[in-house]
């Protein structure tokens, strides 16, 4: 059974699918999660605190996902390809994660700012962590690479960065819709077989090389 905190975060994420964060109302989120507004404020302190918690949860879910894929009982090179494909699919479906991975935030999303200096620490431990602010894109890449054995670190970073290049690809003209705007995530294609083959080929070169790092 989901906790009140998780229910509120789910309600906030669902609201973002239909309207920008600036017009999302706390009262509506409390009603959607079937909790009181007081419970909402007890958990997050403010709408800004809720935004930080939502962004932090997306980062944590991403790291849990890549860790699970990279430590699966399969050949490491296959795990890296699976993780890269998962990153592309997950980012396409989740705008907050896409912004976390690329650093490209827009007005529809919660502002990823840490709590102001000198503010009273939140009463809820999970909120204190969220109030520290979200990890930067480079920190997420580093945390992903840390999930694999040192021998595969260079290959992992390559796979992640190739995946991220695919995540931002719709920003180029060929993927723009009318008016020069990026198309909605639903129109994005998954990672192309060609990019997947590139990752597999480079990783196979690494495994045949006597060096410990990428050539």
Q: pLDDT per residue over 80-91, tens digit each? A: 989 998 999 899
Q: Is residue 18 part of a domain?
A: no
Q: Is residue 41 part of a domain?
A: no
User: What whole-number distance in Å separates Cα of residue 131 and Cα of residue 112?
Assistant: 10
Whether 124 has a pLDDT exceeding 60, the answer reads yes
pTM (2 d.p.): 0.80
28's CB contacts (< 8 A; 6+ apart) are: 15
What's residue 160's pLDDT? 92
Question: Above pLDDT 90, what percent of the chain?
Answer: 52
Q: Which two tokens stand for residue 86?
A: 């998962």
At 116, the pLDDT band (50, 70, 90 cuts) reads confident
CB atoms within 10 A of CB 26: 16
* Residue 40 backbone dihedrals phi, psi, to 5 degrees: -60, -50
Q: Is residue 39 part of a domain?
A: no
Q: Is residue 174 part of a domain?
A: yes
At 114, the pLDDT band (50, 70, 90 cuts) reads confident
> Higher pLDDT residue, 47 or 180?
47
Q: Is residue 200 part of a domain?
A: yes
Minimum mean pLDDT range among 10-14, 103-107, 112-116, 188-192: 188-192
Q: Which two tokens stand for residue 50?
A: 């809720």
Owning domain of residue 114: 58-127+134-208
Q: Is residue 38 part of a domain?
A: no
What is the count of structural domains for the chain? 1
> Higher pLDDT residue, 215 or 36?
36
What's residue 210's pLDDT? 46
Whether 177 has a pLDDT exceeding 50, the answer reads no
Q: Is residue 122 part of a domain?
A: yes
Q: Is residue 40 part of a domain?
A: no
Whether 182 has a pLDDT exceeding 90, the answer reads no
- Give which of 127, 166, 159 is closest to 144, Cα–Cα: 159
At 202, the pLDDT band (50, 70, 90 cuts) reads low
């Amino acid at each position: 059974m989901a906790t009140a905190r998780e229910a509120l975060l789910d309600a906030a994420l669902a609201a973002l699918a239909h309207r920008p964060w600036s017009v999302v109302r706390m009262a509506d989120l409390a009603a959607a999660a079937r909790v009181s507004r007081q419970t909402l404020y007890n958990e997050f302190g403010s709408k800004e605190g809720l935004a930080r918690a939502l962004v932090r949860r997306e980062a944590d879910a991403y790291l849990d996902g890549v860790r699970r894929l990279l430590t699966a009982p399969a050949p490491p090179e296959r795990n890296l390809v699976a993780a890269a494909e998962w990153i592309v699919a997950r980012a396409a479906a989740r705008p907050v994660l896409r912004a976390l991975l690329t650093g490209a935030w827009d007005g529809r999303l919660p502002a990823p700012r840490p709590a102001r200096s000198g503010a009273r620490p939140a009463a809820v431990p999970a909120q204190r962590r969220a109030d520290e602010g979200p990890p930067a894109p480079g920190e997420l890449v580093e945390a992903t690479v840390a999930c694999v054995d040192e021998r595969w670190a260079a290959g992992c970073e390559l796979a992640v960065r190739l995946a991220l290049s695919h995540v931002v690809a719709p920003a180029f003209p060929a993927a723009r819709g009318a008016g020069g705007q990026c198309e909605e995530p639903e129109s994005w294609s998954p990672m192309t077989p060609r990019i997947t083959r590139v990752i597999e080929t480079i990783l196979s070169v690494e495994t045949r090389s006597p060096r410990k790092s990428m050539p």
